[in-house]
Structures are given as structure tokens and as C-alpha cells.
């Protein structure tokens, strides 16, 4: 049966209406068409219902002494942007736990969370195990018990050295009133090579006990060194190393705790990054498969 002219026109009207609706849907990304409206130009992310502006990230860079005007590589900025969002998530966690108020800053939140993690207990067994497994970190290297003279001029330094080489006791040499007024001297205690400037360490550790060095010129005077005793390397006892070990384990406790909290928060909260509004090539961990 032939189609009437009226039916043909009606069919064309329906076709054009459908076509127009499709174009409007694509142009405006209406929710009814299964999409989302484009974010405002200043929005770079959204955490649940919280809109995040790029100006907030710039302020974050300033707070952390990073000049946003520097030409930083995109991978560096991506890592910083991830840290910025991570701290926003930690702020939400801190609010939920009652550690801070809703209006408190990210920095306050991080301090509060770190404080809570630092309060965790470190069992004695962990301290002992760390000492056993990292014994080489607690080896005390060879040292010396040292005394020195620092004179203002070379002539005074040479006079002191001659007196010391003649066998006059150290205290008597510096007891001379003239020398006492023009030179600084005394016992320096126990020192390792790591405690000394490399140039001085080479000179000092070449001396045998009781030996007096040559006069060593420096920007601030003239040195004479005498090694009183050589101290052999030894293993630091656990009791002496315990405080240092606990500090190491406490840092690990905080680092692991923060990493776990951030991972959990990323799973719990809906975070969306609007890459097209970020003025660098963002490629961080919040970059989803189908970002805006």
C-alpha cells in the first residue's frame, strides 16, 4: 500500500526531531543522555561533593615552598597534585575520627594523623629484631681521643709544637701566660673520622698515640693536634642503640600507616580529576580510564 504524503511528512518530522535531540544531547552532555555536564573551568577535581579549584593547588605549592611559577616538569607536578589530593583525603579521615574540626586545614589534619600513628606501641621484640638484622648499622668506627691547640699566628703555633716535642707536658706548655692569651687549647674528647673535616681527619688519623702533628694552617688560625689514644672499632650495645632504633621504627610505623590510610581513602571516596582543566599534562594515580 502506498504511503500518503501526510504520513511521509510526519515521518520526516519525527526523524529530524530525533536528529536534533541527538545533537543537543552531544553538545550539552545532558545527564538524561547518559553523560555529565562539563565541569567549570576553575575545577580540577571533585572529591564526593567537594569541588577542588586549581587555585587551591597553587596555594598548596606555596605552603610547601614550591614556586608555582617555575617550569616544573609535568611528572613532578603530577606527583605534587597526587600528594595534594592525598592530603585532602587524609583531612576527611581526620574529621571522621574526630581528630580535627571540619574547618581545619590539610596541614593540621596531617599533623593530627601522624601524631596518632606515632602514639602506636613499638614492642621490645621489634627493637631486638631490628638490632639483630641491622647490626652493621651500629658499628662504631675507629676513633681517637684528641687534644689540639689553635693559635692565631704560625710563630706561636711553631713555638707550642717545639715545646710539646721536647717532652714538656701539654698542660705546662699552655700554662705559659703569653701562650695562654694567644692560643686556644684543650681536650676534644672522642672523635671518629666522620666527626672531622676530611683534610683534618687524614692528618689526625695518621698520628700514633702521643705523636704531635705538623702545624696545620686553616682560614681561622693554625692547628696542632696530638692523639692521646687510638680507639678501636666496636659494636654498639643494644641499650645504647635502642633509642635510635625506636626512632627508625617509629618513622616506619608512620610511613606505613599513612600509606595504608591513603590507599583505603582512595577506595572509599569518589575522586574525579578533570584533566582538561589542569594546565599541565597530568598523569598521576587519580587518572581514571575515562576521565573528564
> Taking Cα atoms as reference points, which of 289, 276, 282, 221 lies closest to residue 43?
276
Q: Please check the confidence at residue 38 and state whether its pLDDT lies above 60.
A: yes
CA-based nearest residue to 68, from 83, 53, 78, 57:
57
Q: Read off the pLDDT band of 244 (50, 70, 90).
A: very high
Reading phi first (left if > 0) and then psi (alpha if -120 to 50, else beta), residue 189 is in left
Decide if pLDDT at 14 tops 70.
Answer: no
pLDDT digits (tens, 9 = 90+) for 252-286: 999 999 999 999 999 999 999 999 999 999 999 99
Asked whether 227 and 208 are in contact (CB, 8 A), the reply is: yes
| Spatial CA neighbour of 271 closest among 40, 92, 42 | 92
pLDDT range class, residue 32, cuts 50, 70, 90 = very low
Q: Which of 257, 270, 292, 256 is nearest to 85 (CA)?
A: 270
Mean pLDDT for the chain overall: 83
Pick the more confident residue, 91 or 151: 91
8 Å CB contact between 180 and 123? no
Q: Are 183 and 147 in contact (CB under 8 A)?
A: no
Amino acid at each position: 500500500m502506498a504511503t500518503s504524503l501526510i504520513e511521509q511528512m510526519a515521518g520526516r518530522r519525527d526523524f529530524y526531531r530525533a536528529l536534533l535531540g541527538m545533537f543537543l544531547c552531544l553538545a550539552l552532555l545532558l545527564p538524561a543522555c547518559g553523560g555529565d555536564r562539563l565541569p567549570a573551568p576553575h575545577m580540577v577535581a571533585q572529591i564526593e561533593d567537594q569541588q577542588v579549584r586549581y587555585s587551591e593547588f597553587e596555594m598548596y605549592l606555596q605552603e610547601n615552598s614550591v614556586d608555582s611559577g617555575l617550569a616544573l616538569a609535568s611528572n613532578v607536578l603530577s606527583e605534587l597534585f597526587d600528594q595534594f589530593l592525598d592530603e585532602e583525603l587524609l583531612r576527611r579521615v581526620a574529621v571522621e575520627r574526630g581528630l580535627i574540626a571540619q574547618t581545619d586545614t590539610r596541614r593540621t589534619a596531617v599533623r593530627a594523623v601522624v601524631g596518632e600513628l606515632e602514639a602506636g606501641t613499638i614492642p621490645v621484640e621489634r627493637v631486638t629484631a631490628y638490632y639483630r638484622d641491622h647490626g652493621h648499622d651500629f658499628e662504631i668506627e675507629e676513633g681517637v681521643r684528641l687534644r689540639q691547640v689553635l693559635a692565631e699566628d704560625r710563630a706561636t703555633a711553631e713555638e707550642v709544637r717545639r715545646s710539646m716535642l721536647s717532652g714538656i707536658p701539654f698542660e705546662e706548655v699552655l700554662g705559659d701566660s703569653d701562650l695562654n692569651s694567644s692560643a686556644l687549647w684543650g681536650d676534644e674528647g672522642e672523635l671518629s673520622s666522620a666527626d672531622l673535616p676530611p683534610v683534618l681527619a687524614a692528618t689526625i688519623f695518621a698520628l700514633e698515640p702521643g705523636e704531635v702533628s705538623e702545624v696545620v694552617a686553616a682560614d681561622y688560625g693554625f692547628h696542632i693536634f696530638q692523639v692521646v689514644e687510638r680507639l678501636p672499632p666496636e659494636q654498639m650495645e643494644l641499650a645504647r642503640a635502642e633509642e635510635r632504633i625506636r626512632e627508625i621504627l617509629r618513622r616506619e610505623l608512620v610511613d606505613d600507616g599513612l600509606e595504608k590510610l591513603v590507599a583505603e581513602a582512595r577506595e572509599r571516596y569518589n575522586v574525579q580529576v578533570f584533566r582538561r582543566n589542569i594546565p599541565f599534562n597530568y598523569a598521576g594515580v587519580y587518572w581514571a580510564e575515562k576521565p573528564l
